[in-house]
Structure 1
């Protein structure tokens, strides 16, 4: 009987933990751009230099982008069709969960025997933007954005997380008709 009272709480914890592992991705693009003509890329150094993250993380992101675009058949070039720029945003996310489980009514948390209270958790959430700029027109033709939890990761886990985030963002490139 006591276990049934804590089952909803256990389910909430599993849901919260699983939401921390997801990467939320959005992309936007210029509908007049001919994405099938873009075959080569280079990194836009002034844009990359402005990204407010450590140089180690910049290198990890650039390697992951290079790997993903190369896997799509593109080549790195000194005379590219696309310039790749990145920027990042970071914010502290605070989640408050109201745990009003149980039965009964009244202001007393023990009234009716149910568990009542709130749980507060915080985590650092980072957003990575990847911009693709047409070198002929110098205009942004595609932008992908991925948001994910980046709190307290070991180096190996951080590398894997960055690869996952970049991979999810670039799954959206090139855009498909009707996307």
Structure 2
């Protein structure tokens, strides 16, 4: 039973990331920052252990790809990877939830009656609401940056999107894109406490 639970959790994590990356319109991105954090002091980083996305205790192909994408984003901002003495821990997570949309749409129909006074059939409108229920999967991916010395979250970026299907050969590029979209909201560079403009 425990093995089944671990397999299910592993599949849910991998599927959520791959499905989120395949969103046709792109995920909704939000971020939050600790205003008291001194980002000018951060120059190095490493990955938090264990990563939230590797809750089953080992790396997967998907978690490895996300780590690679996050590392590329950090290094492009001047941060140096340092497992021994990082200023920042990078933690990654992904999950999905089943969602339901209920849409009520007014509709009109016509019933026909014969009017003896008018000596013809007349249309009488009847109004009703049509209810449509749509089920879908929503994927969430988040990147947390944690002050390693204080063990305190200083920045988080979250991508939320309706899940879709994707071809295996396109998944890596779309994972890279989803991680890049999250990091577009991270306004700092290594050793600089002055935020750059964010979208």
RMSD of aligned residue pairs (Cα, Å): 3.5
* 1:130 corresponding residue in structure 2: 143
* 1:174 corresponding residue in structure 2: 187
* 2:31 corresponding residue in structure 1: 27
Aligned residues: 157
Of 94, 100, 107, the match for 1:88: 94
After superposition, residues 1-179 of structure 1 pair within 5 angstroms as 20-48=24-52, 49-50=54-55, 55-78=60-83, 79-100=85-106, 117-174=130-187, 176=195
> Which has a greater percent of helix?
1
The TM-score with structure 2 as length reference comes to 0.64
The structure-2 alpha-carbon separation of the partners of 1:23 and 1:130, relative to structure 1 and needing over 3 Å to count, comes to: same
Whether contact under 8 Å (2:91, 2:144) holds in the other structure is yes
The structure-2 alpha-carbon separation of the partners of 1:105 and 1:58, relative to structure 1 and needing over 3 Å to count, comes to: farther
The structure-2 alpha-carbon separation of the partners of 1:91 and 1:42, relative to structure 1 and needing over 3 Å to count, comes to: same
| 1:50-71 CA-partner distances (Å, limit 9, x unpaired) | 2799812111211111111122
> Which has a greater percent of strand?
2
Gaps of 5+ in 1: 1-18
Residue 159 (structure 1) shift: 2.1
CA distance in 2, matches of 1:148, 1:21: 8
Residue 43 (structure 1) shift: 0.6
Residue 23 (structure 1) shift: 1.0
The structure-2 alpha-carbon separation of the partners of 1:54 and 1:136, relative to structure 1 and needing over 3 Å to count, comes to: closer
User: Whose relative contact order is higher, 1 or 2, with alpha carbons under 8 Å and at least 6 apart?
Assistant: 2
Residue 42 (structure 1) shift: 0.7
The structure-2 alpha-carbon separation of the partners of 1:159 and 1:128, relative to structure 1 and needing over 3 Å to count, comes to: same
The TM-score with structure 1 as length reference comes to 0.70
